Structures are given as structure tokens and as C-alpha cells.
Amino acid sequence: MKFLKNKTIMITGGTGSFGQACTKFLLQYNAKKIIIYSRDELKQFEMSNKFNNSKLRFFLGDVRDLKRLKLATKKVDILIHAAALKQVPAAEYNPMECIKTNIYGAENVISACIENNVKKIVALSTDKAANPANLYGATKLCSDKLFISANNLSGSANTIFAVVRYGNVIGSRGSVLHYFKSLIQKNVKSLPITDERMTRFWLTLDYGVKFVLNSIDMMKGGELFIPKTPSIKITDLVRVLGKKMKYHIIGIRPGEKLHEVLCPEDSARDTIEFKNYYLIKPSIDFTRGETNNYKINKKNEKGKIVKSNFIYSSDNNPHFLNIKELKKLS
């Protein structure tokens, strides 16, 4: 990824699972400077000790703070927006806090990047933003729309925005795998699952980081990138974690879905399929003058528009992991 060489890259929410994994890759690709922007001083201290690299800069700050963001984004080339309040039940009980971070925070990131002429911005999204059934998903859908439409606001600044949407990341903090393993360490005899029919997309953290970085390289502005990833059955995950492990049904939590959706049917008319990913092109025309051909990417790979009734969800995914494959990834 030669495009990363000598670039200054900022990651909001950079002390999280994604931010730390991404930092490792950016150091390998000779980034000039990596700015970690987050509000947790302890995690910044721990991350500083972990990497011990002079290319890292740590900014204490909240995406709700526009003034601080404007200061942090000066002379930044690329920004990856990973900061979010993402726990579904917490968002249901604290809706305004979720809105302040996920929507107003997105607006602040956009404003700061345009003012400081940041060249490329990618915002991380979630399956829960597709046909949202909970407040967290609704705020991320709104955030996605803000970043896509921000391509209308940059004018002569040449700042372009795109979004990457993916599902469950294996082993990240708050993931079901992380939760199950913590319970097993406490010697529980039965794992709680919400519904036996539940399925999830299954994405490794390293693959997620590489996909985001590749999307930054290929982006023209206005795209929503979605990786093709396998699905799992939640009951298979329990089997993999222990042959004698049992499970019990606790019922679906507030705002939870049975199956994840990454490409909803309503977006099918704008969805283009490539070999390893889907791209949802913007439904609006931008005012900057140029017309992007989203059917051909920067590697000259040609995509095709999907069928009008197309849905990409974890239950209709053609690629399900079997028990052997799931063991390798878990």
C-alpha cells in the first residue's frame, strides 16, 4: 500500500480494537505520522507503551468537541473515523448520548476535515445501519448519510468522503466471541444465546483493517464499501467453544436482530458487485462537477449492478463457515 507512505493519518477512537490493529499495519507501511484521537487517557498511555514508536501522536479529545478536532486535523492527509458509542442496549437507555457522539460527532469530523483540507476520510459503519431496528443503528445510518453527502460540501478543498460497512468483528471488545470466552473463563456450564436461529457475519480484525485501507486507496468519493465475508450460526459457535458446552435461551435483547443485513433491498438499485466486495454508490449527484464511474474501480476491475430484489444478509449468505473453519478463526 504505497499510498500510505509518508502520509499523516488520524484515527478517531484510535485506542479501540480497530485503531490498535490499524496502527500496527500503518507502521508497517511507513506512514509519516499516526495521530490517535480518543478520550481515554489510560488506554492512550497503555497504547503508547505497547507500540513505543515516535511516529505515534496522542490527542486527548472527544468527537463532540469541534474546536479540539480542528486542532487535531491540521496537516492530516487521511482520517479514519472509528469513534462511536456502539453498545446496542446502552444506546436504547441513553439515546441522547448516542446521538451526540454518533451524529453530532460525525458532523464535527466532517467540518474539521473540510476546514483543514484533509484529502481522504473513511467512516466505519455497521450492519446495524442497514434497515435499523435500534437507536444505535439509526444513528449510524444518519452518520453514513452525513459522510456521503459531505462530498457536496468540500468544494475546492478536494476533500472526499466514503464509508465502510461490515458486521461482527471476531474478538473485538464487546463482540459475542469476546463475551463467550469471558464467561467460559468463569467456568460457566451454559452460555446464554438470544435465539437458536441467530446468524452473524464473521470478520477477522486484520481483514477488516486491510479492507478499510484498500477502500481508502480505491475511493473516488461517495461510496459505501461492503466486504464479502462468511456467516456463522450462533449455535455452531457454542459447539466450537466446548464440546460439552450447553446453551440456554434468554430472548432477544432490546433492539437486536435475528440476522445481520449489510446490503438492504432498498439499496439494490445502487449496489454494484465486485469480486471481493459490494459497493453502494451515492443516490444523489454531487455538485463538484465531475462524474464518477463507480462500476470500474481504480484497479480497472469491472462491477455489475445486482438484481432489483438483492439482499446481502447473514442468513442468505452463500458462504457459511463449517465447524472446522470456525475453529480456525475462533
Catalytic residues: 128
Q: In terms of Cα–Cα distance, which of 65, 177, 156 is closest to 112? A: 65
Which sign does the torsion angle of CA 144, 146, 149, 154 carry?
Answer: negative
* Cell of residue 273, nine digits: 458487485
Distance between CA atoms of 162 and 119, rounded to whole angstroms? 11
Distance between CA atoms of 266 and 235, rounded to whole angstroms? 30
Task: Please list, residue by residue across 5-26, b when 16 or more beta carbons sit within 10 angstroms of its beta carbon and e when fewer do.
Answer: eebbbbbbbbbbbbbbbbbebb
- The DSSP string of 66-127 is HHHHHHHTTT-SEEEE------HHHHHHSHHHHHIIIIIHHHHHHHHHHHTT-SEEEEEEEG
Q: In terms of Cα–Cα distance, which of 311, 272, 263 is closest to 295? A: 272
Q: Residues 158, 286: contact at Cβ < 8 Å?
A: no
The SS3 call for residue 185 is: helix
* Cell of residue 302, nine digits: 469491472
Q: Residues 183, 190: contact at Cβ < 8 Å?
A: no
Distance between CA atoms of 25 and 51, rounded to whole angstroms? 12
290 pairs with which residues across the strands? none
